[in-house]
A and B are shown apart, each in its own frame.
Chain A
Amino acid sequence: MTEQIIMAGFGGQGVMSMGQLLAYAGMLEGKNVSWLPSYGPEMRGGTANCCVIISDDMVGSPIVTQATAVIALNKPSLDKFEDTVVPGGLLFINSSLVDRKSVRDDIQVYYIPANEEADRLGNSKVANSVMLGAYLARAGSSVTPESVIEALKKVLGSSKQDLIPLNEKALKRGAELINE
């Protein structure tokens, strides 16, 4: 099985770290993984996206052109990547910042008010974790939320370990929203 995911949003929304976390968690599960960022001259505020592949086989091209899932944290990302979802694939839209619906009828679309939910949890910065939680709950992903938390522990420095409970809650909230 191969999961090919595109995550996209504004710079600063935590798109890159969400992707790294997922890749790291995939690695902890013993999968072959790759994480590929877009990179450009703008250091802040531009659009950011990354491709994550989680596979039982060796990862060939790290570029995702036919996504099994797209996670769009803002409208430009939805506009750019909506078409790349394969038929039957998944599209996660951050409905807090995206005011339109998907035009696709051959895929499964989920609208997650990630920013509102993150604010409710007390920190708008965990909107990315809410989205990731939704993905993990719905994707039939080979990655479990437990692995993501495990990865988070390794990725965050010792000084930032206090952020883990909050992210754990955010992941859980994302999963609940999918199942509601």
Chain B
Amino acid sequence: MSKVLMKGNEAIAEAAIQAGCRYFFGYPITPQNEIPAYMAKRLPMVGGCFLQAESEVAAINMVYGAAGAGARVMTSSSSPGISLKQEGISYIAGAELPCLIVNIVRGGPGLGGIQPAQSDYFQAVKGGGHGDYHLIVLAPSTIQEMVDLVQEGFDIADQYRNPVMILGDGMLGQMMEPVEFKERKPRQLPPKDWATTGWKGDRPRAVINSLFIDPQVLEEHVQRIYKKYEAIKANETKVECYNCEDAEIIVSAYGTTARIVRSVIELAAKEGIKVGLIRPITLWPFPADTFSSWVERDHVKAFLTVEMSMGQMVEDVTLSVGGRKPSYFYGRTGGMVPNPFDILDEIKKIRGGNR
């Protein structure tokens, strides 16, 4: 298929439809409004159902119901809306329901702003709701990757019966790039024999539930989920290393910021500074081993994490680096986007021992 020029948000929606998603429940919030608008138009054409819920709270619970009923279902929102959805997300994780949640992040806290940010890393990766659980968090940095990860995300969710979050930002949502909807090889997925579809007696009665009143049973339930997480860590961790061979400074960034760092790498090269990029594509599971493998190299003098936040992913980078090399942070927040030249200045400061 040939390339089309598409807005990130619309590409997400089309990718979801092509991945077989037929149910969308959402609530308006900037800067992700193109997703529900696209779904509202397209889903009825393919026999699906779009519903604008009365709130984010209701929307995520509709997702719970539909996922529990066996459907491929998604919702999308932006930061304040995701905060509202966290209750439902915790229930979805507890009940082990597969679904896709898109967060087109904007600046916070509070009502914050509507410009791009990465300040939802913690609430995405560390479990924004209550209890022991993880989302699988995918962080695309181009529109093409957004398309690929949305389609992959649905499969991952189904394979592990776990909610998947696409963590984008306002810039990725609003910008346009050429994309191709490639013919993809779907995974071999287990049947959804646990879904509530009406019980004819040919399988155990389906009960979608996250309540385990006996603490021993709840502990076993959570431990079983954590075993699943080990498999996810082993099988699904994704990371891109760019220009790291011989790099003096390794910059770590994801999503939009990683694109900016690519521009920085070019600028630095012109000045004879070797800079590499480690770009986590899965934020959870975090590619800690990749950092460990580079940290031992003699040519690597320091790590610098760049984010559109006050420093969230840097905590995972620093943990992975484990004190073996210095780990620095540079960020802009509130909807401000780091400028390549400012990042280059930080790199120079680190090289010059001025940090």
State the A residues within 8 Å of B (CB).
20, 23-24, 27, 32-37, 39-41, 58-63, 65
Contact = CB atoms under 8 A, between A and B. Distances in A.
A41 B33 CA distance: 12
B260 A34 contact: no
Contact of B5 (A35, A58, A59, A62): A35
Interface stretch (B42-50, B67-75, B171-179, B292-300): B171-179
A34 B263 contact: no
Contacts of A24: 5
B170 interface: yes
Contacts of A60: 259-263, 266, 340
B5 A61 contact: no
B337 to A, nearest CB: 6
A37 B261 CA distance: 20
B228 interface: no
Contacts of B340: 60-61, 65
A38 B124 CA distance: 26
A34 B11 CA distance: 14
Given A27-B5, A65-B339, A65-B340, A35 B175 contact: yes
A124 B299 CA distance: 60
A27 B3 contact: yes
A50 to B, nearest CB: 9
Listed from nearest, the 7 A-B pairs whose CB atoms lie closest are: A60-B263, A60-B262, A35-B176, A61-B260, A36-B175, A61-B263, A27-B178
Contact of A37 (B3, B114, B175, B337): B175
Contacts of B3: 27
Contacts of A62: 171, 175, 177, 259
Given A33-B177, A60-B263, 14 more contacts: A24-B5, A27-B5, A35-B5, A36-B174, A37-B174, A37-B175, A39-B31, A39-B114, A41-B30, A60-B259, A60-B260, A60-B261, A63-B337, A65-B340
Contacts, number: 58
B215 to A, nearest CB: 49
Contacts of B170: 39
Interface string B239-266: 0000000000000000000011111001
Contacts of A35: 5, 175-177
B97 to A, nearest CB: 33
Contacts of A27: 3, 5, 178
Contact of B175 (A32, A34, A40, A41): A34
Interface in B113-129: 114
A59 B259 contact: yes
A32 B179 CA distance: 11
9 contacts: A27-B5, A36-B174, A37-B174, A39-B31, A39-B170, A41-B114, A59-B259, A61-B263, A65-B341
A58 to B, nearest CB: 7
Contacts of B31: 39
Given A39-B170, A62-B171, A23 B259 contact: no
Contacts of A23: 5, 176
Nearest to B5: A24
Contacts of B341: 65
